[in-house]
Amino acid sequence: MSTTATAPVPGGPQGKPEKAKEPAQGMSAKPVTWKLPVTLAVLAVVAFIFFGLLGPQSTAKFGVSSGGDFFQLPAIEVPAFLSGIVLSLVLLGLAGYALVLKVKQNRRPPRWLPVVFTVVFVVAFLIWVVGGARTPSISLAGLIAGSVTLAVPIVFGSLSGVLCERAGVVNIAIEGQLLGGAFTAAIVASVTDNPYLGLLAAAVAGALVSMVLAVFSIKYVVNQIIVGVVLNVLVSGLTGFLFSTVMQANKEMFNSPGRLPIIEIPVLSSIPVLGPILFKQSVVGYLMYVAVIVVWIGLFKTKWGLRVRSVGEHPQAADTLGIKVNATRFWNVTLGGAVAGIGGSFFTLVAIDSFTKEISGGRGFIALAAMILGRWNPIGAFFAALLFGFADNLQSIVTIIGTPVPSQFMAMLPYLVTVFAVAGLVGRSRGPAASGIPYVKG
């Protein structure tokens, strides 16, 4: 090449200026990966073999209404084998469409595709499991209502995670906050004989656990993950110790918290399926719906939320605008702890009326996954938590009706769903940029 060679403008005809304002294709287009089409295809093939070809030759029955509903819907009965074949063919079709799009046009599948795929897959799975059970009948209403119930602490936990991470602090200690809330609720409600005081105390306990996290991670700049993990172990040990020394010794006095009453809203609660979920809940259940909406509005529509998010995304920018970064973080983490504490009270004031060791059973970590799957958005986290609640409830129901799958495998279901949902469906989702990074001035 000589000293004055000139390369043509890439992509455009000579003499026509390149668009300077719009980023060039090569720089802006996000990659179209094989991941999604291939995952869908593998799942579809699995579905076709198990749900279709190896499907049970029976009729699966799904009850829709429960006895108290004010109008009755007939139960849905489906032939398991036939519907297995049909649904798995639909899945194969969807996966094929995604593959064709990738191969022919190098385009990613439309956004509805993975959602529809998931729904069809779950339906096919349900029919397969129920159809293969000893008693091929299941109450759909009960399944869904139970899912919501199991999801309540997870929803509160994930809201706590959202509140903390949006402000830039990673909250691994959700598990500890749930557990602390559960324990305190039990003991305070037992001593005072007032479950509502127990609920309040649970919020305070969660907030206290959170304050430890806040002080160490914000003021003393200790690694947030480590503080969180240590807190989980600490709360677990402390409540375990107090349980066996204090609670066990005098159960009447310290571990009989009495339940929060279920408040039924007349008429509305008799709507099939939806009624029990929305209008037949304890105070904690109603609080969950309120909390999800309030946190969402707070974060995205108010001055407070704008400041919180700026602190979690770009603390230097917030600081240069006179926003107190570390104070904002401290109070948000504390608030998050209170929310998780309320979630913890659900274990001892609603689900069962006593405390046992490790009653939270790892749901704090599932809540963390729900937060990520819900993309750090309160509403997304709510639905993600519902998904985990559903998986959790399904495994217990399916174990009861007796299925071909060993119950140990079914017990893994919620965790498998967690791993696959977070790894596969979310892909590379982006959390708050400064989450987990302490802010030190100067």
Partner 1 sequence: MVRVLKLELKGITKRFGSLVANDHIDVVVEPGQIHCLLGENGAGKSTLMNVLYGLYEPTEGQILIDDKPVTFRGPGDAMAAGIGMVHQHFMLVPVFTVAENVALGAETTKAGGFLNLDDTRRKIKEISDRYGFDVDPDALIEDLPVGVQQRVEIIKALVRDAKVLILDEPTAVLTPQDTDELLDILRQLKSHGTSIVFISHKLREVKAVSDTITVIRRGKVVGTADPGASTTDLASLMVGRAVNLTLDKAPAKPQETTFQVKDLTVIAPSGQHVVDGISFDIARGEILAVAGVQGNGQTELTEAILGLQERAHGSILLDGEELLGRSVKDVLNAGVGFVPEDRSVDGLIGTFSIAENLILDRYDKAPFAKGISMSPAKVLENAKTRIDEFDVRTPSGSLAAGTLSGGNQQKVVMARELSRPLRLFIASQPTRGVDVGSIEFLHKRIVAERDHGTPVMIVSTELDEVIELADRIAVLYKGKLVGIVPAGTGRDVLGLMMAGLSPQDALADAASRQQAGGPVVQHTGQPADQHAGQPAERTAADPAPAAQPVQEPRSGAVGDDHE
Instruction: State the number of CA atoms in the 13 A half-sphere of 145 facing the CB.
Output: 23
Exposed/middle/buried for residue 221 (C-beta within 10 Å: 0-12, 13-18, 19+) = exposed
DSSP-H helix ranges across 71-173 = 80-100, 112-131, 140-166
Q: Least CB distance from residue 249 to partner 1, whole Å?
A: 48
Q: Least CB distance from residue 327 to partner 1, whole Å?
A: 12
Question: Three-class SS of residue 315?
Answer: helix
Q: Least CB distance from residue 333 to partner 1, whole Å?
A: 20
Which range binds partner 1 by CB under 8 A, 47-55, 108-116, 264-272, 304-312?
Answer: 304-312
Question: Three-class SS of residue 39?
Answer: helix
261 touches partner 1 by CB under 8 A: no
310 touches partner 1 by CB under 8 A: yes
Dihedral pair phi/psi, residue 239, rounded to 5°: -70, -35
CA distance 398 to 68: 24
427 touches partner 1 by CB under 8 A: no
CA distance 328 to 194: 33
Identify which of residues 31 and 74 has a Cβ nearer to partner 1 in the complex. Answer: 31
Virtual CA dihedral for 135, 140, 143, 144, nearest 10 degrees?
170
The region that residue 21 occupies, defined by phi over 0 for left and psi between -120 and 50 for alpha, beta otherwise, is: alpha
Give the chain's largest Cα–Cα span.
95
Identify which of residues 69 and 313 has a Cβ nearer to partner 1 in the complex. Answer: 313
Identify which of residues 134 and 430 has a Cβ nearer to partner 1 in the complex. Answer: 430
CA distance 144 to 30: 37
Identify which of residues 362 and 431 has a Cβ nearer to partner 1 in the complex. Answer: 431
Residue 86 has a CB neighbour count (10 Å cut-off) of 16
Question: Three-class SS of residue 53?
Answer: helix
Which range binds partner 1 by CB under 8 A, 70-78, 95-103, 218-226, 306-314?
Answer: 306-314
314 touches partner 1 by CB under 8 A: yes
Identify which of residues 300 and 409 has a Cβ nearer to partner 1 in the complex. Answer: 300
Look up tokens 């375990």; give the residue: 240
Identify which of residues 107 and 251 has a Cβ nearer to partner 1 in the complex. Answer: 107
Q: Least CB distance from residue 218 to partner 1, whole Å?
A: 18
Q: Least CB distance from residue 7 to partner 1, whole Å?
A: 5
15 touches partner 1 by CB under 8 A: yes
**Shortest CA distance to 179 belongs to which of 133, 120, 238, 123?**
238
CA distance 18 to 205: 61
104 touches partner 1 by CB under 8 A: no
Q: What is the DSSP letter of 23?
A: P
Q: Least CB distance from residue 103 to partner 1, whole Å?
A: 16
321 touches partner 1 by CB under 8 A: yes
Options 104, 111, 134, 303; binder of partner 1; rule CB under 8 A: 303
Identify which of residues 208 and 323 has a Cβ nearer to partner 1 in the complex. Answer: 323
Q: Least CB distance from residue 309 to partner 1, whole Å?
A: 8
Q: What is the DSSP letter of 62?
A: E
Q: Least CB distance from residue 14 to partner 1, whole Å?
A: 7
Exposed/middle/buried for residue 130 (C-beta within 10 Å: 0-12, 13-18, 19+) = buried
Site for partner 1 in 68-97 (CB under 8 A): none
Question: Three-class SS of residue 159?
Answer: helix
- Angle between helix axes 413-420 and 378-401 (nearest 10 degrees) is 150
Identify which of residues 301 and 357 has a Cβ nearer to partner 1 in the complex. Answer: 301
Site for partner 1 in 19-48 (CB under 8 A): 19-33
**Total of residues contacting partner 1 (CB under 8 A):** 53
16 touches partner 1 by CB under 8 A: yes
Which range binds partner 1 by CB under 8 A, 13-21, 175-183, 279-287, 355-363?
Answer: 13-21
CA distance 147 to 142: 8
Q: Least CB distance from residue 263 to partner 1, whole Å?
A: 27
Q: Least CB distance from residue 318 to partner 1, whole Å?
A: 7
105 touches partner 1 by CB under 8 A: no
Residues in the site for partner 1, rule: CB under 8 A? 1, 3-33, 301-304, 306-307, 309-310, 313-314, 316-323, 433, 441-442
